[in-house]
Structure 1
Amino acid sequence: MDTATLTQFFKYCTIINFVILAVASIMVRLDLGYNLHTKLGFWMGSKEDHRQLTYSLLGYFKILAIIFSFTPYFALCCLVP
């Protein structure tokens, strides 16, 4: 596997990860996740606790996306002339 293929792979991984992050952020902002989880009986806590938990999970996801997809893509872009 050459560096051009790896660069393309990490580029698409980065795009997919940040699209997922954007959609999840919109769902949290509109309280779609809270409404769904309370109707299905998965969440019995308060709305603020749910929002705090989802914001922290989105933060962890963003950190992992940056570390495992954006950073290798950036490094490969700097490496390939």
Structure 2
Amino acid sequence: METTLLTKYRIFKLIFESNVNDYGSMWTYKHIQGEKNHEFDSEKDALEWVQENPEIMIRCREFVIIPVYHLAVS
């Protein structure tokens, strides 16, 4: 059995959340609402998708592109 590590990239919007009760705040990653979870083969592909879809990205002006790793067994 052979295993390989696949790397894909996903786009998440950054949300600054503050909790008034404990005076804490943090940045969290959220999925882009109304969009399926796109996976890209490279960071460049993800950035090109962002440029081609400004109407979607206006809702989340602050975003990150994060590598997601998949362990594939064949």
TM-score by length of 1: 0.30
Q: Flag the structure with larger Rg.
A: 1
TM-score by length of 2: 0.31
Bigger proportion of residues as helix: 1
Bigger proportion of residues as strand: 2
